[in-house]
Amino acid sequence: MTSVATTAPSHGGGQPLLHQHGEETQKFGTLKQLPIGLGHDARMYACQRLNRVLADTQILYSLYKKHHWLMRGATFYSLHLMLDKHAQDQLAIVDALAERIQSLGGVAVGDPRHVAELTSIPRPPDGVEQVPVMLSRLLDAHERILIDARDAAARIAAEGDEGSNDLLISEVVRTGEAQVWFLAEHLVDTPLVRA
């Protein structure tokens, strides 16, 4: 089915037009022209790089939520709260990245199945891991994103796209660095103070 209903039902009452289907209006990996003072090639490159960071950030967000639910042990409460806060920060970055891609005329990756095809972050086991392993998994995901985001920011800036550069540095990198610090401190082997 590829047709779209265009007339209202005759019985009135504000009935929604359900089960609509149609063609894509813009394919992933393409650009529409917007008068933003950046050339096609610069915008295309930025969208490609931003979509990679976006896919990884969506996976990082999901890892944070999963590990937030699965925390165990004496530090459960503090880690449960911290991981949820970090997840919310990552969700804000997801939205900012997607909106930047759209503002460049691109199409942001959004479907989780498509995200899984693009991400560089390894899939974790479906079950529960030990707390230090879960925290280490988050640190690894952050490092992958930070390496890619720094490289993307430098190359995008060289193409003249300061807006995307600013987003990558001020939000992705700075937030990621702070979250890495908080996570890593939970893995320090600190002996108990003896009385």
**pLDDT number for residue 190:** 54
**pLDDT number for residue 96:** 98
**pLDDT number for residue 4:** 54
**pLDDT number for residue 14:** 86
pLDDT digits over 161-184, tens only? 999 999 999 999 999 999 999 999
**Identity at 194, one-letter amino acid code:** R
CATH 1.20.1260.10 fits domain 40-185: yes
| pLDDT tens across the length of the chain (195 residues) | 555 555 555 556 789 999 999 998 999 999 999 999 999 999 999 999 999 999 999 999 999 999 999 999 888 999 999 999 999 999 999 999 999 999 999 999 999 999 999 999 999 999 999 999 999 999 999 999 999 999 999 999 999 999 999 999 999 999 999 999 999 999 887 555 555
Asked if 46 and 104 touch (Cβ cutoff 8 Å), the reply is yes
**pLDDT number for residue 188:** 83
Q: How far apart are alpha carbons 31 and 48 in whole angstroms?
A: 11
Range 62-67, long-range pairs (CB < 8 A, 24+ positions): 63/121, 63/124, 63/137, 63/138, 63/141, 64/90, 64/138, 66/124, 67/134, 67/135, 67/137, 67/138
**pLDDT number for residue 191:** 52
- The residues spanned by each domain of the chain are 40-185
pTM of the model as a whole: 0.88
